[in-house]
């Protein structure tokens, strides 16, 4: 670590310990303060530039990741369009989503080459598709505002319920429970997710926190496994968190069983949801899903469509190629190199968990940060996944207060900064990816040293069950 960075961290550590900024009440004030300062800065900027949308997604694309996707199922809205029932009862933005929807599901679009086809909604997993299709039917029967109440409301109620559940399972104070509630409902990534409407990521984050609470306490495991299976069917990344079972009690076989149960549940749920999605939306077939994934890959990964608010290291790779004036900015060799680095980091993390040479908060951070950095498109509203990391860190620090040199404190600082509004549409993701990379290297460094020692001393052997 560079001397200046070590000195800066030392000053921060002293301030955090002297003022108790790791305590839930004070940390909540710190995060609200950062949010307020950023909001004030945006107001000052807006007074000179007229741009009032720099802190959240632009107003002309609000709630798009739920309402716009739901309105793309045009076959559901045939009667609505014929009767023009939307004219007097829908806000303008939702009428625009209905009449000028960018998702092209026509047979002609699906037959075009990847670089010519427009985006579709066919890349969505079956359970998420059923969720969006349910929203579409509700909008057709009522209007988008009713659908927002029905789908945004459960997130708010679920956040309250999961926060209470986490407090009980973590065994922390009421004050820490309030902090977890703030993290679940009102921290910046959550507000950003709610304004963008990416409720699939939001629901997944809450369900992951609920599962993590049961995994830590060892109580209510079946309920937790169901929550994790639901979460994985909305966002695949939380599946990596089953690796924390390697730190649990019991034989190796028992730990593998605890890892396999939510996996089997996830597969069963996807198998049940797929025919339901197909019945509601006949275009939803395996061939069309594969076609939708190819189009998604080209539009959001190869082209520049997924660059805004992207917190993945792939955006840095694209930026380097842009500075070199190389087109296209996406390079397959560079992408494979990043994927190889991510896979190596994940294998090292799993080895550390297997050998039980890593603490639970560090493992949860790594298993959350690695997909965020190495999935090609990881938009800022998916940072909601770090709610579980933050809740676990704060709860663990309350139960076991830190001292100088505590390895949890750097991860707490990184997580708080990742979940804070630090920049604009492009700079925020770039900063977050660097912060996550720093936290990941910090967590992996002792594991790498242990692995080299183990390789030099004797072959790595599996623990005896």
Residue-wise pLDDT tens digits, 135-164: 999 999 999 999 999 999 999 999 999 999
Structure confidence at residue 47 (pLDDT): 46
Q: Where are the alpha helices (DSSP H) in 78-220?
A: 78-83, 86-89, 92-99, 107-111, 126-141, 144-170, 174-185, 188-196, 199-217
First-to-last C-alpha distance (Å) of the chain: 38
Q: Specify the higher pLDDT residue, 385 or 48.
A: 385
Residue 70: per-residue pLDDT? 96
pTM of the predicted structure, to 2 decimals: 0.92
pLDDT tens digit string along 287-328?
999 999 999 999 888 888 888 889 999 988 887 777 777 677
Q: How far apart are CA 231 and CA 225, in angstroms?
A: 10
Q: Helices in 50-125 by DSSP H: which ranges?
A: 69-71, 78-83, 86-89, 92-99, 107-111
Q: Is the pLDDT of residue 337 over 60?
A: yes
Q: Provide the percentage of residues in the chain whose pLDDT is more than 90.
A: 72
Cα–Cα dist 70/366, whole Å: 34
Nearest CA among 433, 435, 430, 385 for reference residue 411: 435
Question: Of 15, 435, 420, which Cα lies nearest the Cα of 189?
Answer: 420
pLDDT tier, 50 (very low <50, low <70, confident <90, very high otherwise): low
Angstrom CA distances, 392 to 224, 364, 381, stand at 16, 9, 20
Closest CA to 417 of 395, 393, 397: 393
Specify which residues 306 forms β-bridges with: none
pLDDT above 70 covers a percentage of the chain that reads: 93
The pLDDT, as a whole number, for residue 464 is: 35
pLDDT at position 424, please?
A: 78
What's the confidence (pLDDT) of residue 41?
Answer: 64
How long, in residues, is the chain? 465
Angstrom distance (rounded) from CA 359 to CA 408: 9
Confidence of residue 114 (pLDDT cuts 50, 70, 90): confident
Mean pLDDT of 1-23: 88
Counting Cβ atoms within 10 Å, is residue 357 exposed (0-12), middle (13-18) or buried (19+)?
middle
Beta bridge partners of 310: 379
pLDDT value at 461 more than 90: no
Going by C-beta distance under 8 Å and a sequence separation of 6 or more, which residues neighbour residue 145? 90, 91
What tokens does 8 get? 């800066």
Closest to 302 in 3D by CA, of 276, 348, 341, 335: 335
Neighbours of 254 (CB within 10 A): 13
Report the pLDDT averaged over residues 193-218: 95
Q: 210 by DSSP, 3-state: which?
A: helix
More confident residue, 9 or 395: 395
Confidence of residue 252 (pLDDT cuts 50, 70, 90): confident
Q: What is the pLDDT of residue 279?
A: 96
Contacts of 400 (CB under 8 A, 6+ apart): none
Percentages (nearest 5) of helix, strand, coil residues in the chain? 75, 0, 25
């Amino acid at each position: 670590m560079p001397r200046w960075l070590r000195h800066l961290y030392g000053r921060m550590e002293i301030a955090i310990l002297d003022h108790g900024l790791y305590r839930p009440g004070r940390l909540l004030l710190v995060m609200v303060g950062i949010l307020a300062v950023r909001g004030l800065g945006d107001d000052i900027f807006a007074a000179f530039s007229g741009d009032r949308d720099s802190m959240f997604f632009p107003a002309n694309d609000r709630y798009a990741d739920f309402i716009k996707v739901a309105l793309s199922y045009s076959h559901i809205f045939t009667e609505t369009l014929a009767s023009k029932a939307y004219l007097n009862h829908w806000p303008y933005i939702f009428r625009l989503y209905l009449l000028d929807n960018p998702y092209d599901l026509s047979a002609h679009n699906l037959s075009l080459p990847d670089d010519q086809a427009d985006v579709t909604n066919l890349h969505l997993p079956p359970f998420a598709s059923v969720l969006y299709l349910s929203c579409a039917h509700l909008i057709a029967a009522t209007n988008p505002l009713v659908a927002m109440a029905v789908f945004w409301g459960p997130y708010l109620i679920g956040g309250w319920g999961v926060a209470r559940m986490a407090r009980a399972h973590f065994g922390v104070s009421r004050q820490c429970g309030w902090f977890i509630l703030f993290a679940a409902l009102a921290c910046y990534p959550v507000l950003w997710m709610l304004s963008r409407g990416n409720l699939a990521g939001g629901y997944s984050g809450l369900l992951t926190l609920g599962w993590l609470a049961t995994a830590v306490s060892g109580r209510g495991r079946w309920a937790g496994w169901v929550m994790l299976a639901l979460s994985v069917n909305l966002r695949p990344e939380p599946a990596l968190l089953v690796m924390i079972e390697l730190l649990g009690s019991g034989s190796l076989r028992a730990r593998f069983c605890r890892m396999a149960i939510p996996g089997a549940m996830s597969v069963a749920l996807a198998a049940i949801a797929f025919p339901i999605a197909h019945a509601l939306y006949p275009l939803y077939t395996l061939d069309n899903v594969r076609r939708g994934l190819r189009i998604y890959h080209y539009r959001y990964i190869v082209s520049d469509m997924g660059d805004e608010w992207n917190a993945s290291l792939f955006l840095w790779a694209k930026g380097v190629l842009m500075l070199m004036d190389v087109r296209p900015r996406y390079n397959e060799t560079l992408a494979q190199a990043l994927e190889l680095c991510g896979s190596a980091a994940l294998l090292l993390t799993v080895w550390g968990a297997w050998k039980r040479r890593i603490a639970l908060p560090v493992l949860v951070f790594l298993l959350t940060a690695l997909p965020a950095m190495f999935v090609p498109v990881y938009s800022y509203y998916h940072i909601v996944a770090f709610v579980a990391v933050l809740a676990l860190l704060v709860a663990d620090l309350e139960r076991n207060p830190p001292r100088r040199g505590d390895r949890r404190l750097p991860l707490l600082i990184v997580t708080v900064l990742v979940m804070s509004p630090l920049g604009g549409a492009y700079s925020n993701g770039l900063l977050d990816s660097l912060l996550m990379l720093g936290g990941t290297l910090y967590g992996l460094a002792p594991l790498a040293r242990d692995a080299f020692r183990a390789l030099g001393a004797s072959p790595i052997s599996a623990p005896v069950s």
